[in-house]
Amino acid sequence: MSVQLPNTIPAFKAHLESGALSAGEAVELQVRRFADLDQQTRAVVRALAPPPHAPDQSLPLGGVCLAHKDIFNLPGHRPGLGRDRGAESVGMVQAPCLSLLEQAGAINLGTLAMAEDACSATGQTQKLPTPLNPLGADMAVGGSSSGSAVAVASGMVYASLGTDTAGSVRIPAMTCGVMGLKTTHELIPRDGMSPLCPSLDSVGILARSTADLTAVLQVMAPNLAWETADMDSEIRVGFWLDGADLDQEVRQVIAPVMRRYGQQHLDLSGHERCLTSLQELVMAYEVAQTHASRIARGLACPQVQSLGAYGLTIPASWWRAALRERPDRLAQFVDHAFASADVLLAPLQTGFLPTTREVYLGDDAFKSAKLLGLHRYCGWINYLGLPALSMPVGTGAHGMPVSIQLVGKPFSEPKLLALGRQIATDIHGEHGIWPVLRLEG
């Protein structure tokens, strides 16, 4: 076939409407691309056959092929959760978030690799192949939505779903040089999604452009205030830079971007430290409760075993107190950070993208500071339940991407995407799309 797939979902839909692509041809091209690139990336856990009938092009995502983290229930099939490839499960009902995409015409091509039990800042796995970062096979792949980021970065799919408990959408988006949207806690239904830490878990979306993030989120959360996504509307921007623990090289990349778009600097160091401590307490306690049986039998992965063992020592009263504090902490933060800003630009990574050996536990080259640097500025946002958009804004050593995160008040995703679109178009032109990155050989 000589026809090439367009780079974004809106462009793809326009091709279908113009007749440049037939519905059947479009699906065939996407299926072939998905399978071919998986040979290089190892991102797929279980490939799914597309439906035999032609897609309804009139639907918002009609004919768009996606794939998702292997953490969501499928019809009659349980997810593998990074432990295995899943298995048939009679009577299992598809996760509602996947049904929303299906009803909008999207086609699910398969389940994607993840860190075991969604509990790791890297994609390191013991029981299944670890997906390869399209930036280079020796570069770290963030977790736990590792396969979701790799599939998007390599061009296997336009977008994918992941989950974010302490950065598990934003971290792999950062390491693979794409965009990752952690949505407001409970914005997207989590039914049919295996929990890690229910008070912190959120469904997220990964893509290479805000256009694709928007196309997916609009069918999953149509009641958001999408009129605020108009680029012509004024968005007040604050930024946090001073007081953040950043390598000087990273600071040099992100500081000009923050100062270009931000009108007011805020030092959020005190908030971040306190909120991170509360998030860590809640996460350890709930991981211990979620996986108590597997921890007791020694069946949990090392990350869950270690975190859960600590969580089992935390009194329930401390956990309840941390959750009771959350509404007040959120109100205090909103009053401070968003008094004169709609969107906050904040650090995401503390240093340049590490290699796999630097962040894989047990490796001779392991550096704890490198691993910590992947999730250092993520968890506090989960504690507050805020939405956050991870996006690359430049490159550092060896041409590797450097990302920041755009943070907003609850349910302000349209404004995050609007500002993200402005930044991306300023960097990459009209379509604001981050390049497809593919492994050599």
Query: Would you please indicate which residues are annotated as catalytic (active-site) residues?
Result: 69, 144, 168
**Residue among 437, 435, 434, 378 nearest 210 (CA):** 434
As a whole number of angstroms, the distance between CA 133 and CA 175 comes to 8
**Contacts (Cβ under 8 Å, ≥6 apart) of 319:** 281, 282, 285, 286
As a whole number of angstroms, the distance between CA 237 and CA 216 comes to 25
Tokens 């593998």 locate to 80
For residue 247 the two structure tokens come to: 């390598």
As a whole number of angstroms, the distance between CA 164 and CA 215 comes to 20
Query: Rounded to an integer, what is the distance from CA 311 to the centroid of its chain?
Result: 25
End-to-end C-alpha distance for the chain, whole angstroms: 22
**Contacts (Cβ under 8 Å, ≥6 apart) of 435:** 208
139 strand-pairing partners: 355
CA distances from 181 to 4, 93, 123, 245, 387 (A): 27, 26, 18, 23, 7
Alpha helices in 157-268 (DSSP H): 170-176, 210-220, 248-261
**Residue among 197, 161, 205 nearest 71 (CA):** 161
Tokens 């995401």 locate to 348
- B/e letters for 167-201, b = 16+ CB within 10 Å, e = fewer, are bbbbbbbbbbbbbbbbbbbebbebebbbbbbebbb
Q: Is 315 in a helix, a strand, or coil?
A: coil
As a whole number of angstroms, the distance between CA 124 and CA 178 comes to 19
Q: Is the peptide bond before 277 cis (omega within 30 degrees of 0)?
A: no
Identify residue 353 by its one-letter amino acid code: L
Radius of gyration of the chain from Cα atoms?
A: 20
Identify residue 222 by its one-letter amino acid code: P
